[in-house]
A and B are shown apart, each in its own frame.
Chain A
């Protein structure tokens, strides 16, 4: 048996989200064509005490009153587990703003789902975190806006946010929960990246996500204040590569480049409706968390009389941009069409007015040069004032009071 054991490692292949579909396709999937995703993002609420100007929630935020009830979420979790989803990411808004979070995590555990909490951390107490751990929570991801309170609290639009996050990160490791530090990067905090990497090491984090802001929704409104310069991005890539090599085995670093400065668009969500869906606070099943920004698509809800699997497989919104059949030129005849699936539909809609266009992040898009030049101009500008995210449609930073 010894050769088999030795060989075992080579067949122990990691499957990350970017090629999770390979497994489904190899094994034959539940759906005729598109297997049920391995992981689903549950946006429990859009309520959040922070006001980050790059929030990934839609500009039209869902009010508390329309959120799914505890019983509705539990039913959703059971259904997800039944159809073959393996991991659930509890996100928001701020998921800990839901008073029933422990109950929902416990239910996820009961039905066999691996649970991940994506949190700003500012509402957590040690008791609450401990209760979540006891309920079976598997992983905690905390967002950071910088490595020190002055800038970090200003970006978050929340006093003492940074201090609180550090405290919760320490509790996370004390409770033996694995920790991912999520650092959202932009022009105004990229200079802190080396210190943020050190902060992640000091916090004993397992993973660090260096995620450059993606520009739709709130971030698009704030693009002039957030867009990094090309020089910053080159420096960032250098710093990340050096740290990845130096910290191998200690800290895993995932890096998301801003696609404005890429030559090819990102394979957004692994391709529309291919391996991911998101459930909004009101129960809509979405191909990505920004999909509701595209007008003219009807997204069905778990409150409809359709099952989640049916919505995934058959709904018009999921099928509209699936695969390659919908593509116009230059995507249609492009050799990369099954590499990037035409990029991001939400970005195409936000920047060209038509979600069916080629993502302007692609150099082959007729819009690319114009948009790249605009971004470059904005990055060189001195407009550093934020429009804070809130239910009132946003509040401009006024200096010192975080727009509150």
Chain B
């Protein structure tokens, strides 16, 4: 069912991706990153933008955490919970969904 994918529960094995109705875009005119959603324009901050850019539906959350830990030379355990919490929050707001298995 299409609707069941809406409220996902994020774990390290999730492969989050922006749903079709949410577009992450750099607004050249206003020089700011925006998320375009039905009847809304949102302004994510730098960290949210960085995390969302990694949500390509191919990487899983484990990879995303590894990548951020490496980039910021942070202890993996310390940021894992924060990343998952942030992704869950984005998912709850409707800006992340689970990538579907591609069978073709």
A positions within 8 Å CB-CB of B: 1-2, 4-9, 11-17, 20, 23-24, 27, 29-30, 35-36, 38-39, 83-84, 86-87, 112, 114, 116, 138-139, 141, 173-174, 176-178, 180, 204, 206-207, 249-250, 254
Contact = CB atoms under 8 A, between A and B. Distances in A.
A14 to B, nearest CB: 5
B41 A6 contact: no
B21 A177 contact: yes
B85 interface: yes
* Most B Cβ at <10 Å: residue of A12, A176, A206, A249: A12
B30 to A, nearest CB: 5
Contacts of B30: 23-24, 27, 29, 35, 84
Given A2-B82, A5-B86, A178 B34 contact: no
30 contacts: A1-B47, A2-B74, A5-B85, A6-B85, A8-B45, A8-B48, A8-B51, A12-B42, A12-B45, A12-B90, A14-B40, A15-B41, A15-B42, A15-B43, A17-B40, A24-B30, A27-B32, A29-B30, A38-B41, A83-B29, A86-B27, A86-B34, A116-B38, A138-B20, A174-B2, A176-B2, A178-B38, A180-B38, A206-B38, A207-B38
A8 B93 CA distance: 14
B57 interface: no
Contacts of B93: 12
Contact of A16 (B2, B39, B85, B89): B39
Contact of B79 (A2, A116, A139): A2
Contact of B94 (A112, A114, A206): A206
A27 B36 CA distance: 18
B42 A14 contact: yes
Contact of A138 (B38, B44, B83, B89): B38
Given A6-B85, A84-B27, A139-B38, 14 more contacts: A1-B72, A2-B82, A5-B47, A11-B45, A12-B43, A12-B93, A23-B32, A23-B43, A24-B30, A27-B31, A29-B30, A39-B39, A84-B30, A116-B38
Contacts of A4: 47
A8 B42 CA distance: 13
Contacts of A13: 42-43
Contacts of B72: 1
B40 A138 contact: no
A9 B86 contact: yes
B82 A86 contact: no
Nearest to B48: A8
B81 to A, nearest CB: 8
A178 B20 contact: yes
A116 B39 CA distance: 9
Contacts of A180: 38-39
Contacts of B6: 206
Interface string B1-24: 111001100000000000111010
Given A15-B43, A86-B27, A1 B38 contact: no
A206 B68 CA distance: 32
Contact of B19 (A11, A15, A141, A178): A178
Contacts of B90: 12
B19 to A, nearest CB: 7
Contacts of A8: 44-45, 47-48, 51, 86
B41 A23 contact: yes
Contacts of A83: 29
B67 to A, nearest CB: 12
B92 interface: yes
B71 to A, nearest CB: 9
Contacts of A86: 25, 27, 34, 36, 41
A24 B44 CA distance: 15
A292 B61 CA distance: 52
B2 A6 contact: no
B9 to A, nearest CB: 13
Nearest to A137: B20
A1 B31 CA distance: 24
A139 B36 CA distance: 11
Contacts of B28: 84
A36 to B, nearest CB: 7
* Most A Cβ at <10 Å: residue of B44, B47, B93: B47
B21 A178 contact: yes
A206 B94 CA distance: 9
A180 B21 CA distance: 12
